[in-house]
Amino acid sequence: MLNESVWPLLYIGLSSMAVPASINAHMAIEQEIARIAGLRETHAAMEWFRSHEPELRDWQLEVAAIAAPPFGEGPRAHWLRSRFGELGLEEAQVDRLGNVLGVRPGADRNANLIAITAHVDTVFSAETPLNIRREGDRLCGAGISDNGAGIVGLLALASALRSVNLAHSAGLLFIGNVGEEGEGDLRGMRHIFCESPWKDRIGPTVVLDGAAIDTVVTQGLGSRRFQVTIQGPGGHSWSDFGVPNPIVVLSRAIARFSRTELPAEPKISTNVGVISGGTSVNSIPESATMRVDIRSASKDEMERVERALREAVEQAASEYPKRSRNGSKGISYEIQLIGCRPAAELDPNARILRVIRAVDAHLGNRARLHRASTDANVPLSLGREAISIGAGGSGGGAHTLQEWYDPAQRDVGLQRVLLTVLALAGVPK
């Protein structure tokens, strides 16, 4: 999961707005959850989560140790495909884009599949020392929770269902998708939902991202990302002194952009996440680059701040001639859109939301609705039902080398996933 913000609407608030018909529907779903939870096979699956925790940790350490930078998820995807095969998922495959898929068929072969997804990519480059290790009861290292926890959630669900032979009506489509983080720009999910042969076979989607079970992401935070490149003639720091310096121009643009006024509501955030440029301390650089991230649930605000970014760069560049006095090239710039995620929102009356609320009520789990940028943005933006939730346990330090994961009570998170998926798929009486 990427950056997130609380949407201060508790379940209790939604219930009070509900009309009688939906209260009836809600009660029916609660009864159905209680029935499914009371089945012998469901108990056995829940027990499987508890008794197999040591194996889940081993999987998590193993998968997190395989580097999976954006556009370099191949080795991790192949590892996951092998596990899907071992767990008896049908049609286990890595698709053209690198997504891993496998099906657990349901009794009703014509029903839409329930997709359970977890992104396999990390924010870390191929060279990053991931340093995956145990520290007491904790698992540590880059990517261990985001999304080691989600990937293990897929495997735990597939494995438990198989071992207890639990029948469900709709089939389950397990997906380890590429391209959730950063420059990946949700490419894995876009492919699955817009181009792949699966796109019309998928019903509701449950995204597993990270650990925490105190949230349900129902609003897709939008984002626009830019790469800004300033170019100049470059030269020797002494003999060419006076030639415009792209790093200085870029710095001025950043200073100007950072003064852009941002409202508290609707919330909008900006970040200059990467800067690079130059070759040596005694060379005037030929180019300097930055990457900028703008996020909001408000499209209008994002457009306004995008204009401010363009003006800041234009202003900074315009302080220097486009052509220097001796006719050589002066300062030029380019602003490239490198990421665009749709803002989107789940219908508050969607069945998937009623199901997870009923599951949380059954488990005594208090969860808030959240707004975030996750893989769920893609199905949500297409008007499909989707939520993003954690896979249990707890974690911290996401997107840093200090990331950690604590598997205590992971089984509660997995029970939550299991009951949600079974209720969506339907369990024959």
Please give the residue ranges that form the binding site for Zn ion (CB under 5 A). Answer: 1, 146-147, 209
Alpha carbons 115 and 378: distance in angstroms, whole number: 13
Q: How far is the CB of 120 from Zn ion (least distance, A)?
A: 10
Q: How far is the CB of 105 from Zn ion (least distance, A)?
A: 28
> Which residue, 29 or 378, has its beta carbon nearer to Zn ion?
378
> Which residue, 216 or 243, has its beta carbon nearer to Zn ion?
216
> Which residue, 174 or 320, has its beta carbon nearer to Zn ion?
174
Alpha carbons 360 and 311: distance in angstroms, whole number: 47
Q: How far is the CB of 297 from Zn ion (least distance, A)?
A: 19
> Which residue, 389 or 422, has its beta carbon nearer to Zn ion?
389
Residue 383 is classified by DSSP as: T
Is the CB of residue 181 less than 8 Å from the CB of residue 398? no
Query: What number of helices (H) and strands (E) belong to the chain?
Result: 12, 20
Q: How far is the CB of 146 from Zn ion (least distance, A)?
A: 4
* Chain-centre distance for alpha carbon 377: 9
Q: How far is the CB of 2 from Zn ion (least distance, A)?
A: 7
Listed in sequence order, the residues at least 6 apart from 183 whose beta carbon sits closer than 8 Å to its beta carbon are: 70, 71, 225, 338, 339
Per residue, the 3-state secondary structure of 159-194, as one string, reads: HHHHHHCCCCCCCEEEEEECCCCHHHCCHHHHHHHH
> Which residue, 42 or 373, has its beta carbon nearer to Zn ion?
373
Is the CB of residue 288 less than 8 Å from the CB of residue 275? yes
Q: How far is the CB of 399 from Zn ion (least distance, A)?
A: 9
Pull the structure tokens for residue 100: 């891993």
Q: How far is the CB of 374 from Zn ion (least distance, A)?
A: 7
Q: Which of 298, 302, 278 is nearest to 226 (CA)?
A: 302
Is the CB of residue 100 less than 8 Å from the CB of residue 84? yes
Alpha carbons 56 and 39: distance in angstroms, whole number: 24
